[in-house]
Amino acid sequence: MTAQIDQILRKHPEARRDSLIPILQEVQDAQGYLSREAVVKVGEFLSLPASKVYGVATFYNQFRFQPVGRYHIQLCRGTACHVKGSADVLDAVCRLLNITPGQTARDGLFSLEVVACIGACGLAPVININGEFFAGVTRDSVAEIVDSYRRKADPDGQDH
C-alpha cells in the first residue's frame, strides 16, 4: 500500500496544489479508495493539511474512503433514472445495507456508489453490481437482487 502511494507520488515531481485531484484519482484507481495513510501522505507531499485534503476529496462524489465491498453497487442518479424513481431505490438500498453512498457495509460484502449517468437511460432506473446491469429496478426488486448476491456469497446460508 505504502509503496504504491510512494510510486504514484514519484510520478509527480513537479506537483503543486492544483495536482491534488489528479493525484487522488490515481491513488483511488490503484487502491480502490483513499485510505487515511493516502490522505496524509498526499497532503505531506503537497504541503497540505490532512483536513484540507479530506475536505477537498469529499467535495467530489467520486472519492471513497473505505475499500469497496465484495459486491460494489453503482446506482444511477441521472435524469432519466430520477424520473423513474431512483431516489426511492437509493433509499431502499441504504436501508437494506445500513450504509450511505460512499460507504461499505460492516461485513465488507456490499459497497454503494451513486453515479451521475451510466448511459443506460433506456433501462432506467438502473443499477450495476460488479459490471452486471439490472434494469427497471424498484424498491422490492432491489431487495431481491441484494439477497441473490448474499446467497451467492454464502450459498449454504449458514450465516442467516
| Residues contributing to the site for another protein (CB under 8 A) | 36, 39-40, 49-55, 58-59, 65
Alpha helices in the chain (DSSP H): 2-10, 20-31, 36-45, 50-59, 79-83, 86-97, 139-153
Q: Closer CB to another protein, residue 36 or residue 152?
A: 36
Closest C-alpha to 64, from 98, 15, 16, 114: 114
Nearer to another protein, 9 or 53 (CB): 53
Using the minimum distance from each CB to another protein, give the nearer residue, 63 or 149: 63
C-alpha cell at 81: 433514472
Could you tell me the three cell numbers for 144? 431481491
CB of 61 vs another protein, minimal distance in Å: 9
Quote the least distance from Cβ 63 to another protein, whole Å: 11
For cell 506537483, what's the residue? 15
Residue among 48 and 68 whose Cβ is closer to another protein? 48
Min dist CB 140 to another protein, Å, is 26
CA-wise closest residue to 100 among 129, 126, 66: 66
Q: Minimum distance from CB of 33 to another protein (Å)?
A: 12
C-alpha 147/C-alpha 1 separation (Å) is 32
